[in-house]
Amino acid sequence: MAKNDTRLIVALRCQVCKNKNYTTYKNKKLQDKLSSKKYCPVCTAHTQHEETKLK
Ligand SMILES: [Zn+2]
């Protein structure tokens, strides 16, 4: 394990179909949940994606 690893890999989940479409890095010190509009291939539209645990 790297000593200076402050980045956490999280998944971004579509709030419509609950599919995990993206993974992104997040600073571990950041408490806020990530949320952004991204393209969902399942919904075939841009939907709100929210941070969730990977796996
Ligand atoms: Zn979707």
Whole-number Å distance, alpha carbon 39 to ligand 1 midpoint, is 8
Return the pLDDT at 2. 60
7: β partners? 27
What confidence score (pLDDT) does residue 30 get? 82
Note the pTM of the prediction, 2 decimals: 0.82
Spatial distance between the Cα atoms of 44 and 47, rounded to a whole number of angstroms: 9
Question: What spacing in Å lies between the alpha carbon of 36 and ligand 1's midpoint?
Answer: 13
Name which CATH class applies to 7-52: mainly beta
User: Residue 41: CB partners within 8 Å, gap ≥ 6?
Assistant: 21
Query: What pLDDT score was predicted for residue 11?
Result: 96
3-state percent helix, strand, coil for the chain, nearest multiple of 5: 0, 55, 45
- Where are the chain's structural domains? 7-52
| CA atoms of 33 and 54, how far apart (whole Å) | 14
